[in-house]
Amino acid sequence: MDILTVLPAIGMAIAGIAVGYALQKKMGLNKAQNIDSKIEQKLTDAKDKIKKLREEADIHASQHRAKIEQELDERRKSIIELEKHIAEREEKLETKISSVELKEEEISSLRTALENEKTTLKSLQEDEQKHLTQISGLTVQQAEARMLQQAIDSTKEEIVRRVRKLEQEGEHQLEEKARDILSLVIQRYASSHVAENSTSYVDVPDESMIGRIIGKEGRNIQHLERLTGCEIVIDETPNSIMISGFSPVRRQVAKKAIEALMKDGRVHPGRIEEVIEEAKKKINDDMREAGEAVVYDLGIVDFPPQLIQLVGRMKYRTSYRQNILRHSWEAARIAMMLAEELGANVNIAKKATLLHDIGKAIDHEVEGNHVEIGEKIMRKYGIDEAIIRAAAAHHEDYPFDTKEAIIVQVADAISAARPGARKENMGEYVKRMEDLEQIATSYAGVKKAYAIYAGREIRVFVEPGEIDDLAAITLAQNIAKQIEQELTYPGDVRVNVIREIRADALAR
């Protein structure tokens, strides 16, 4: 390519560049002008907005200032009213203070006048005492002692009257309540009772059998007595053999054995041992069945078999000729009814009453009284402590700390004291009468005492000069308390203290 051809092209290119640059510059200027105009517009808008905000702020500030000034005015008014009220209160307080000061002055003057009156009165009293002393011939101390004695005598009479009234009212209410409860119990329970003897008898239909029982040179009867621990008496009653022994269980074993020997006809030492072992087994079975029957009848299901066996063992134990199992069952039935009426725990009451004499089942074999033995038995077989405490308190060896304990004691007394329940021999009866009279006559001021109504009442005659009405009431209570502590007796014993004054005169 030659240079002539290239030059025109270069010139055209340069011209185009120049034209483009000129156009671009012009466009940039236009764009800058547009940006400046926009900026100026925004500045103008911002100034207008700021101006508007200032105007609104001035308006709000003016309104707030007006509100604050209004609140200040109201507070100024309330302060002014409060100051006015305080001023009024101060004025009233000053008035009251002045009134109090006046009253204090009046009281002070009255106190002074009262002191003067007291002084005058004291002087008059002294003069009066001197005058009375001259008239009566008594010193002041003697007169005071006489007045005090008169006050004591009159007060004592009033105390005696009130005590008697309270006792009569209390006894009447208690008797009515007791009659209601006991009448319900008696109405719901009735029982026949057969007193058991301390000896057992075996009928002998054939007199020749008596010789077999005795054996050659008494060998058989001696073997029977040795194995059973009972005394076997023959020829006391025709056609019968009497068995006597301290243990009713042993007597029953001997009775069963003799009956079996007479039925079998073979009587010799070897056969006697076999029959006695069979009798013991039957008695044990009988005791178990008797115990099961009693606990089943009372609805008791949680006694262990060993304890039930001991309960049944009471079937062959008597006290005052009263069968212990029969008595315990009967008392438990009574306790259930009493507990229902009094709102006590029926379960505790019936179990404790049934077991209250459980110690008597083995007291022939174990040392100690039946209460202590019974406690050990119940604890051994895991009986609840509440039942043990209630059962142990029936002879007042322990305090009555629950209603159930009282119910056990009452049920035991009802079962033991009802007619026909117990029997006592003449020696025990006479001793009880003597003990009652001896307790009563041991007190000072007692002239004589008589036990009457088979020991159900004791009448105590006192010296009226030594014992007054109030002391007579105290004496009756003390005698009753000592009888409760020292004597054992069925039912209740009424203590009747009699104080009488007899005046005699002779007309001539």
**Is-same-fold flag (199-417; 426-498)?**
no
Does residue 461 sit in helix, strand or coil?
strand
Given strand 240-244, what is the order of strands in its sheet? Answer: 199-203, 240-244, 231-234
Q: Find where tokens 């009255």 sit.
A: 110
Strand partners, 461: 448, 498
Which residues are CB-contacts of 368 (< 8 A; sequence separation ≥ 6)?
A: 359
Mean of pLDDT values over 333-358 = 87
On the question of pLDDT at 352 being above 70, the answer is yes
pLDDT at 443: 92
Whole-angstrom distance, CA of residue 325 vs CA of residue 377? 16
How many C-beta atoms surround the C-beta of residue 291 within 10 A?
23
**DSSP state string for 334-367:** HHHHHHHHHT--HHHHHHHHHTTTGGGGTTTTSS
C-beta separation of 459 from 481 below 8 A: no
174 token code pair: 């208690």
Mean of pLDDT values over 24-47 = 78
Does residue 216 sit in helix, strand or coil?
helix
Whole-angstrom distance, CA of residue 478 vs CA of residue 444? 12
Dump pLDDT digits (tens) for 74-125: 888 889 988 888 988 888 888 888 888 888 888 888 888 888 888 888 888 7
Which residues are CB-contacts of 334 (< 8 A; sequence separation ≥ 6)?
A: 185, 189, 353, 411, 414, 415
Dump pLDDT digits (tens) for 457-478: 888 989 888 888 888 888 998 9
pLDDT at 193: 40
pLDDT at 192: 42
Domain ranges of the chain: 139-175, 199-417, 426-498
Q: Find where tokens 């270069």 sit.
A: 10
Whole-angstrom distance, CA of residue 453 vs CA of residue 456? 5
362 token code pair: 């083995």
> Confidence class of residue 491 from pLDDT cuts 50, 70 and 90?
low
β-pairing verdict for 494-498 and 457-462: parallel
b (16+ CB within 10 A) / e for 447-468: eebebeeebeebbbbbebeebb
Whole-angstrom distance, CA of residue 362 vs CA of residue 364? 5
> Confidence class of residue 273 from pLDDT cuts 50, 70 and 90?
confident
Query: Is the pTM for the entire model greater than 0.75?
Result: no
Q: Using alpha carbons only, how large is the chain's radius of gyration in Å?
A: 57
On the question of pLDDT at 236 being above 70, the answer is no
Specify the CATH superfamily of domain 426-498: ANL, C-terminal domain (3.30.300.30)
CATH number of 199-417: 1.10.3210
- Average per-residue pLDDT in the chain? 79
On the question of pLDDT at 226 being above 50, the answer is yes
On the question of pLDDT at 423 being above 60, the answer is no
C-beta separation of 319 from 195 below 8 A: no
pLDDT at 177: 64
User: Does residue 31 or residue 154 have the better pLDDT?
Assistant: 31
Q: CA distances (Å), 403 to each of 332, 357, 378, 390, 499, in order?
A: 15, 19, 20, 9, 37
Longest dimension (CA), the chain: 209
DSSP H stretches of helix in 265-402: 269-298, 305-313, 324-342, 346-354, 370-380, 385-392
410 conformational bin, left if phi > 0, alpha if psi -120 to 50, beta if neither: alpha
Reported as type and span, the H/E element at residue 168 is helix 140-188
pLDDT at 53: 86
Whole-angstrom distance, CA of residue 53 vs CA of residue 59? 10
Whole-angstrom distance, CA of residue 318 vs CA of residue 251? 12
